[in-house]
């Protein structure tokens, strides 16, 4: 046996082993010069609601009042995220039912899931100023297990520029015919309405603060129906008047140029025939909305109060 060759082979093996061990150590410790991994700091605890400092005392009282009511409303069948800070929002969510998401979020992709009840309460903050907060937001969703009406309610006030000077309020009703369907019948009420025509929209507002406008709906089903019909008729008149006064434009779609970019739309006044057709379409739409509310206002109101019992508590 060649002793020199044997030594060379053993030395090469030692070098190979050293390199393998070095790579393994780097994989474990990276470029850290310490031989022990440093502990990851725990996230700072989120302050309780009593630590919040609202820009105005009344909003703070309302927020805490809603939190207290929700805490008394839910039971052990509900789950909650507890309060957390996410993207400028101080928020908590509660939910129950087999259709609710595990994280209790209310999302467009899951809000038609049957058998779900979800509530979302939030205020807003600038991270550098926390726990100084402002605004109040409440959302509530209720979808029945089987056939029937469901409701989604949203309310925001005192949000300033962060919420479009308040966002306002709305409630959307959907009718489900069975446990697996996508609802085809829907109606929305609120402090403002928007009616689309071609690539534009006609907008109407009640002119009241969201809180004052909402209060006109809450006393009972009849109050909701009466106020809702008044607003639907007002919106119908606004659409009719704007089209008749030639204030609504349509647009001609330009050729598609590729690249996944939607074709441009060149605005132009509507022709007489187009105005006549849009007036007829609007008349049919608003008549259907009125009839839907007249026929089902009691079931709609019940679904709304199932989402959140505003007729029992509204601070």
In-domain check, residue 249: yes
- Whether the predicted pLDDT of 28 surpasses 60: no
Q: In this structure, which long-range contacts are made by residues 26-34, counting pairs with CB atoms below 8 Å and at least 24 apart in sequence?
A: none
In-domain check, residue 184: no
| Average pLDDT of the residues of the chain | 86
Q: Distance between terminal CA atoms of the chain?
A: 96
- Whether the predicted pLDDT of 16 surpasses 80: no
18 band by pLDDT with thresholds 50, 70 and 90: very low
Domain that holds residue 244: 191-315
In-domain check, residue 94: no
CA distance 224 to 302: 11
Percent of the chain past pLDDT 90, that is, above it, reads 69
CA distance 173 to 154: 12
Per-residue pLDDT reduced to its tens digit, 64-83? 999 999 999 999 999 999 99
Per-residue pLDDT reduced to its tens digit, 170-212? 999 999 988 677 888 999 999 999 999 987 899 999 999 999 9
CA distance 134 to 126: 9
Per-residue pLDDT reduced to its tens digit, 89-133? 999 999 999 999 999 999 999 999 999 999 999 999 887 888 999
Residue 20 vs residue 98, higher pLDDT: 98
Q: In the prediction, which pLDDT does 309 show?
A: 98
Residue 137 vs residue 165, higher pLDDT: 137
CA distance 167 to 11: 75
- Averaged over 224-235, what is the pLDDT? 98
Q: In the prediction, which pLDDT does 45 show?
A: 73
In-domain check, residue 114: no
Q: In the prediction, which pLDDT does 76 show?
A: 95
Residue 15: exposure state from Cβ atoms within 10 A (0-12, 13-18, ≥19):
exposed
DSSP summary character for residue 49: G
In-domain check, residue 150: no
- Whether the predicted pLDDT of 36 surpasses 70: no
Q: In the prediction, which pLDDT does 39 show?
A: 53
In-domain check, residue 294: yes
pTM of the model: 0.82
17 band by pLDDT with thresholds 50, 70 and 90: very low
Q: Domain tally for the chain? A: 1
In-domain check, residue 236: yes
- Averaged over 29-40, what is the pLDDT? 44
CA distance 307 to 289: 22
Residues 6+ apart with CB under 8 A from 229: 290, 293, 294
3-12 CB burial, b ≥16 within 10 A, e <16:
eeeeeeeeee
In-domain check, residue 300: yes
């Amino acid at each position: 046996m060649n002793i020199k060759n044997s030594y060379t082979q053993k030395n090469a093996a030692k070098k190979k082993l050293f390199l393998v061990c070095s790579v393994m150590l780097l994989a474990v410790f990276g470029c850290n010069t310490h031989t022990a991994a440093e502990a990851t700091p725990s996230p700072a605890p989120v302050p309780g609601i009593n630590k919040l400092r609202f820009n105005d005392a009344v909003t703070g009282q309302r927020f805490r009042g809603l939190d207290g009511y929700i805490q008394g409303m839910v039971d052990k069948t509900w789950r909650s995220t507890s309060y957390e800070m996410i993207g400028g929002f101080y928020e908590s969510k509660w939910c129950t039912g087999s259709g609710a998401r595990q994280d209790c979020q209310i999302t467009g992709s899951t809000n038609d899931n049957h058998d779900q009840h979800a509530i979302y309460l939030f205020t807003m903050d600038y991270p550098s100023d926390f726990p100084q907060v402002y605004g109040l937001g409440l959302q509530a969703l209720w979808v029945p297990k089987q056939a029937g009406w469901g409701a989604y309610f949203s309310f925001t006030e005192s949000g300033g520029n962060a919420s479009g000077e308040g966002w306002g309020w709305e409630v959307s009703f959907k009718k489900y015919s069975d446990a697996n369907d996508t609802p085809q019948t829907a109606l929305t009420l609120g402090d403002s309405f928007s009616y689309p025509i071609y690539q534009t929209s006609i907008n109407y507002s009640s002119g009241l603060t969201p809180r004052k406008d909402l209060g006109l709906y809450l006393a009972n089903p009849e109050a909701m129906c009466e106020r809702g019909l008044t607003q639907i008729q007002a919106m119908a008149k606004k659409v009719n008047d704007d089209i008749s006064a030639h204030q609504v434009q349509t647009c001609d779609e330009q050729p598609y140029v590729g690249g996944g970019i939607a074709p441009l739309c060149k605005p132009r006044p509507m022709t007489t025939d187009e105005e006549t057709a849009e007036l007829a379409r609007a008349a049919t739409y608003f008549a259907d909305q009125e009839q839907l509310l007249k026929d089902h206002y009691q079931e709609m109101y019940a679904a709304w109060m199932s989402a959140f019992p505003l007729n029992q508590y509204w601070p």
